[in-house]
Amino acid sequence: MSTLTANPDFEQRRRDVAAALCAVLPPHCVLSRLEDTRPYECDGLSAYRQPPMVVALPEDESQVAAVLEVCRTLNVPVVPRGAGTGLSGGAMPIAQGVVLSTAKLNRIVRVDPYARTAVVQPGVRNLAISEAAAPHGLYYAPDPSSQIACTIGGNVAENSGGVHCLKYGLTVHNVLRARVVTIEGDVIELGGEALDAPGLDLLAVFIGSEGMLGIVTEVTVKLVPKPAVARVIMASFADVVTGANAVARVIAAGIIPAGLEMMDQTSSRMVEPFVHAGYDLDAAAILLCEADGTLDEVEDEIARMAAVLRDAGASAIAVSTSEEERLRFWSGRKNAFPAAGRISPDYYCMDGTIPRKNLAQVLAGIAQMEVKYGLRCANVFHAGDGNLHPLILFDANQPDELARAEAFGADILALCVAVGGTITGEHGVGIEKIDSMCVQFKPAELAAFFAVKRAFDPLALLNPDKAIPTLHRCAEFGRMRVTNGVLPHANLPRF
Amino acid sequence: MSTLTANPDFEQRRRDVAAALCAVLPPHCVLSRLEDTRPYECDGLSAYRQPPMVVALPEDESQVAAVLEVCRTLNVPVVPRGAGTGLSGGAMPIAQGVVLSTAKLNRIVRVDPYARTAVVQPGVRNLAISEAAAPHGLYYAPDPSSQIACTIGGNVAENSGGVHCLKYGLTVHNVLRARVVTIEGDVIELGGEALDAPGLDLLAVFIGSEGMLGIVTEVTVKLVPKPAVARVIMASFADVVTGANAVARVIAAGIIPAGLEMMDQTSSRMVEPFVHAGYDLDAAAILLCEADGTLDEVEDEIARMAAVLRDAGASAIAVSTSEEERLRFWSGRKNAFPAAGRISPDYYCMDGTIPRKNLAQVLAGIAQMEVKYGLRCANVFHAGDGNLHPLILFDANQPDELARAEAFGADILALCVAVGGTITGEHGVGIEKIDSMCVQFKPAELAAFFAVKRAFDPLALLNPDKAIPTLHRCAEFGRMRVTNGVLPHANLPRF
């Protein structure tokens, strides 16, 4: 628990901010007692916890603007929050700050089957959009594993992907327009329904900005026709490198699968007892390759992929024969994170991206690190786009295990950058990877980020100290790096 | 000719700037005599002309940085220029400014068939990328009609599209990474080879920024596999409204054609004598619908599209039977602009975008305007994405015809905005549509654009007075609009 909660000055500040918010919001929309703010103390990066000073839950756009007005006037930092499923601590509260939750902005405004769009408020769950569009044969394509719970506002903040993003793209490719309230209190519209919009593409800069530029109050998303058929191949490989090379062969054959995912044996054995997906537990690696489209297209693509996979050394191939079976094959992949939580007291999910050609090399490197750090790592990943999600399994109650897990994770990210990749594919930077940003970007590039941040938020009140490290922080981090000789973990307070 | 050229102060300034540039560039890379700068006096929007003070043609990235350093030190505005094929005056020079041409940065750095990328300098022609990738069975998808001449740097500046962008996207969807020299002299890298990159998406904001944020020195583009087969349907319609509704029916059937283009009779009769495309000249409207993919996919999609088109009232349907015939069908559409120049002394090409459902309504409105203004208009358009290119035919030597053409064009854009569309689909704002931006955007939105512009270019030296109108300008324009009751044309100096 933060020592600040016992500070009388802090308690006075909390009362002042809560009172100012209660003047513009209904009383049930302002939470300021510790037992009420405690549920907001972390997001999916649960190793780091900090209850916020106050939580505001505005019910409409004008209330969002009013909350920001209060925060600007009182100089209180604002941390926006969707469903809190984020994995990089982007929604982690600030002790002296307000959490602005979009939970009550949860209305589906309209579904337009002709224009193939849906207009929704930010608190609408990702899956709820597809459910609302289903009667028209349409759906919203990006499907993060958390799609039952996560909201479109959070997806916009993190530029979320999913297992189908190789073919259908990330959030940025599937959002047409956003209404945004700026910290100055202006309501602006970014993007539009046309393929291109005049002016600077501020919509793209907003998507993935981790709550640092403004609060989204309405989003227009693209809907796509639900394919007539989808089938998935489950291919087994006797070793991970052969599986990784098979991924390359599928892509090199000119196929763009609807999904192309890989799991290693640690992962498949971890999830199978939990979801009974029917995985081949003897395989060192399993590849899931999906085709979608018309029946003819799918049969053709499945046949081509199966031929490539066999040729690449698959030891067994199974093709889903029903929609139920297809969903079961996917359920294991989609439930890898909860399954990790089931077999291990704690896990640390990484999110590096690498060039596809380095897949086998990086997997071999991770296997060596398992030995080095004495910890197991379950590898699940969006193989088609080179986005790795190693899950480092550890027990925070064992002395030194958290520190070893963090060092292991930092080593993985350093390896990703070393082979020409990046420190995050879709989970964002948040607090977790802010120091790794110093490795990824040059000072002039970080300066450009900050200049754009200042253009939207000159007082630096929106989600401060997340996503983009200051040059000062990088300078300190640089010294740390020189001293230790390895990429250190984020040096964060933990509560 | 600008009166400024006779001004001794101006001539001294020209000599000073040229001398400073000659100190950092080889002498043949600096043009300052009027006979040498004259070829740079306009881009494709040739009604507006202004020779620049000096033209700089840097040969490498360090020379680009040196040119910007000179301009920043001497406080000279810089207008970047690609091939000069732009249609909205984005590369129109400023009398007291330098034109920075990227023509000599024309090297294809590498083609990586495995990663499916090409790294090229900005002066490389659009089509040259596809030619370099062809031996690997790959190509660069965006195909502006000017692709023989236009360069990737200009495509990045304007976020260019093409007849295949319905399926393959605009430049922003096909560029992965850009190296940029800022006006401060920093070289920064935007984007990366991964599907997502950490940090703010400054690459997207840079693409389509019309040279206002920096000078691109290297671009990494996505390459896509050349489809095994492509075929195009040419469908005839007895009236334009039936053709427009057929477009809607194709989309509603869940088909995403590789191209979906429409031409009215004025256009087809205009281009046929020029290119002998084999168009049905009795049809009021012609629709070109392309399918690409494997042979099975293409046969299936062509059959489905043909059935929908027949059902929607097509009076005749022809399907290309060879690659040669397919290219001939497209040649008419791609040569509409030169054909207009052949039959009319002048033409004014518009670039509005509208929701697809309003296609028939807007075409009917344009037909009424032809009567109102006493001018012919040839309509060619990217029907699938609602992007219209009405070509207003006029003769600038006839009294009043230019003014009527401009008023006609402004009326078309006002109609586009009125039905929920935008004032530009892919040609950019430049100088041509800068006043229409005041109609499209609210003051807070324009302020956000300017804040981002200032973040990159605090001295406002990069392509000033293009693309984004000042609030002051909009205020003046607003008064004009109230007075006249119609959307007036851009009020620009002409030379």
Residue B352 shares a structural domain with residue B477: yes
Residue B220 shares a structural domain with residue B233: no
Query: What does the pLDDT look like over A117-173, one tens digit per residue?
Result: 999 999 999 999 999 999 999 999 999 988 999 999 999 999 998 888 888 999 999
Q: What's residue B6's pLDDT?
A: 65
A197 lies in a domain?
Answer: yes
Q: What is the mean pLDDT of residues A87-92?
A: 92
Q: What's residue A4's pLDDT?
A: 46
A493 lies in a domain?
Answer: no
Going from the C-alpha of A56 to that of each of A24, A86, A150, B208, the distances in angstroms are 10, 19, 19, 37
Percent of chain A with pLDDT over 70: 95
The total number of residues written for chain B in this structure: 495
Closest CA to A243 of A380, A360, A122: A360
DSSP, collapsed to helix, strand or coil, labels residue B24 as coil
Q: Which residues contact B138 (CB under 8 A, 6 or more apart)?
A: B111, B113, B116, B223, B224, B225, B226
d(CA A152, CA A160): 9
The residue among B298, B318, B338 that closes a domain is B338
Q: Would you place residue A2 in the very low, low, confident or very high pLDDT band (cuts 50, 70, 90)?
A: very low
Going through A149-194 in order, the beta strands assigned E by DSSP cover: 175-181, 187-191
Q: What's residue B371's pLDDT?
A: 96
Widest distance between CA atoms in chain B? 70
Average pLDDT, chain B: 90
d(CA A161, CA A163): 7
B440 with A198: Cβ contact below 8 A: yes
Question: Which structure tokens are listed for A397?
Answer: 């109650």
Residue B314 shares a structural domain with residue B373: no
CATH of the domain at A57: 3.30.43.10
DSSP, collapsed to helix, strand or coil, labels residue B264 as strand
B200 with A429: Cβ contact below 8 A: no
Pairing status of strand A316-319 against strand A387-394: unpaired
How many domains does one find in chain A? 4
CA-based torsion, A376, A382, A388, A392: positive or negative: negative
A456 with B451: Cβ contact below 8 A: yes
Q: How close does chain A come to B64, measured CA to CA in Å?
A: 17
CATH of the domain at A375: 3.30.70.2740
Residue A202 shares a structural domain with residue A236: no
Domain residue limits at A199: 108-225
Going from the C-alpha of B60 to that of each of B79, B380, B461, the distances in angstroms are 17, 39, 21
Residue A295 shares a structural domain with residue A322: yes
Residue B334 shares a structural domain with residue B374: no
Question: Which structure tokens are listed for B155?
Answer: 């495509």
- How does DSSP assign B279-312, residue by residue? --TT-SEEEEEEEEESHHHHHHHHHHHHHHHHHT
Q: Which residue has the tokens 């023509």?
A: B103
- CB-closest option in A165, A422, A448 to B202: A448
Q: How close does chain A come to B266, measured CA to CA in Å?
A: 26
Query: What does the pLDDT look like over A265-298, one tens digit per residue?
Result: 999 999 999 899 999 999 999 999 999 988 888 9
Query: What does the pLDDT look like over B427-482, one tens digit per residue?
Result: 888 988 888 888 888 899 999 999 999 999 999 999 999 988 888 888 877 643 32
The residue type of A470 is: T
Q: What's residue B213's pLDDT?
A: 97
Q: How close does chain B come to A406, measured CA to CA in Å?
A: 20
Q: Residue A303: its chain B contacts at CB < 8 A?
A: none
CATH of the domain at A203: 3.30.465.10
**Cβ-based contacts under 8 A for chains A and B:** 217
**Residue B119, φ and ψ in degrees, nearest 5:** -110, 120
CATH of the domain at A306: 3.30.70.3450
DSSP category for residue A284: S
A495 lies in a domain?
Answer: no
The residue type of B345 is: P
B198 with A424: Cβ contact below 8 A: yes
Helices (H), A199-356: 202-206, 240-252, 265-275, 295-311, 323-334, 336-343
Residue B207 shares a structural domain with residue B136: yes
Residue B353 shares a structural domain with residue B334: no
Q: What is the mean pLDDT of residues B273-290?
A: 94
Q: Is-contact A206 A180, C-beta < 8 A?
A: yes
The residue type of A461 is: L
- CB-closest option in B137, B170, B209 to A196: B170
B456 with A468: Cβ contact below 8 A: no
d(CA B268, CA B20): 52
Residue B352 shares a structural domain with residue B475: yes
Q: What is the mean pLDDT of residues B407-413?
A: 91
Q: What's residue B483's pLDDT?
A: 25
- How does DSSP assign B77-136, residue by residue? -EEEESSS--SSSTT---TTSEEEE-TT---EEEEETTTTEEEE-TTSBHHHHHHHHGGG
A236 lies in a domain?
Answer: yes
**Residue A484, φ and ψ in degrees, nearest 5:** -85, -25
B357 with A195: Cβ contact below 8 A: no
Query: What does the pLDDT look like over A311-337, one tens digit per residue?
Result: 999 999 999 999 999 999 999 888 888
Q: What's residue B42's pLDDT?
A: 92
Residue A333 shares a structural domain with residue A357: no
Residue B468 shares a structural domain with residue B360: yes
Residue of A nearest to B224 (CA): A254
Query: What does the pLDDT look like over B223-244, one tens digit per residue?
Result: 998 998 999 999 999 998 899 8
A375 lies in a domain?
Answer: yes
The residue among A101, A118, A146 that closes a domain is A101
Question: Which structure tokens are listed for B305?
Answer: 């599209």
The DSSP H or E segment spanning A318 is: strand A316-319
- CB-closest option in A189, A204, A455 to B451: A455
Residue A277 shares a structural domain with residue A194: no
Please state the ipTM of this predicted complex: 0.81
d(CA B146, CA B149): 6
The residue among A159, A192, A225 that closes a domain is A225
Q: How close does chain A come to B42, measured CA to CA in Å?
A: 21
A491 lies in a domain?
Answer: no
A489 lies in a domain?
Answer: no
- CB-closest option in A115, A200, A445 to B449: A200
A174 lies in a domain?
Answer: yes
